Amino acid sequence: MESEIKDKQRVIAYVDGSNLYFGMLDSGLRHCKWLDVAKLIKGFIHANQTLIAIKFFTSRITHNPPKEKRQNTYLEALEVQGVDLIYGSYQAKFMECRECGHDWILPTEKMTDVNIATHLLMDAHLDAYDTAILISGDSDFVPCIESVNTVFLDKSVVVFFPPGRHNNSVAEVARANQIIGRQKLIECQLPLEIEKKDGYILHKPEGW
């Protein structure tokens, strides 16, 4: 068994959680938020490949308790499925309407892009993978993808775009790319109830 694994290409998946989430929402797939990321990615793995890890990059929501609770439930569910969570942060940006004087807080995600780029490059340097799967359509990753594919000649980065997030500049530098189909997302949903190791039952949030 060990020799069989060694003969296979090692794959690590890097998921831009925010890009995936808003790609689904903007494409009318709000009912797919309870997404089984592990199942989705395993569906992209070929017979000559072995999945080493799934890294999910996100930031914890602040200033909204109901959303915080729903997000926390989902992130715990992903952990049960064996997904590694890497956190950035939300920075509160105060906005004000010049016409009416109304002000509000606009949360801005920070560090996620940097975290993904850092992990992609460091894992390549440490020879942790042969192929990296990146789920994102963010053009900020173009330099990083280009660096991996040109500096580490024995490695490659392939990109799977969330719905509505196809990006030509990213597609040009990736070894391969495709858009994640709507049906694929619909089929890859988590069970309504998920049991954690301590016996606690996670329930799919209402409205998801």
**pLDDT score of 109 more than 60:** no
Q: What is the pLDDT of residues 138-172, one digit of tens each?
A: 999 999 999 999 999 999 999 999 999 999 999 99
Q: What is the mean pLDDT of residues 178-186?
A: 96
**pLDDT score of 41 more than 90:** yes
E strand or H helix at 30: none
| pTM, rounded to two decimals | 0.88
R_g (Cα) of the chain, nearest Å:
18
Average pLDDT, the chain: 90
Q: How far apart are the first and last CA of the chain?
A: 40
pLDDT at position 103 is 55
pLDDT at position 5 is 55
The whole-angstrom separation of Cα 77 and Cα 56 is 12
Q: In this structure, are residues 20 and 32 in contact, taking their beta carbons and an 8 Å threshold?
A: no
Q: In this structure, are residues 38 and 167 in contact, taking their beta carbons and an 8 Å threshold?
A: no
Residue 202 bridge partners (DSSP): 194
pLDDT at position 62 is 80
Q: How far is CA 91 from CA 88, 108, 127, in A?
A: 10, 5, 34
pLDDT at position 129 is 98
pLDDT at position 207 is 85
Torsion from C-alpha of 105, 115, 171, 33, nearest 10 degrees? -50
pLDDT at position 6 is 66
Domain 2-129+148-203 has CATH 3.40.50.1980: no
pLDDT at position 110 is 59
The whole-angstrom separation of Cα 62 and Cα 56 is 19
Confidence of residue 194 (pLDDT cuts 50, 70, 90): very high
Q: What is the pLDDT of residues 59-103, one digit of tens each?
A: 988 878 999 999 999 999 999 999 999 998 655 555 556 676 665
**pLDDT score of 45 more than 70:** yes
Q: How far is CA 88 from CA 60, 92, 115, 200, in A?
A: 8, 13, 7, 27
Which of the pair, 79 or 108, is modelled with greater confidence? 79
The whole-angstrom separation of Cα 96 and Cα 114 is 29
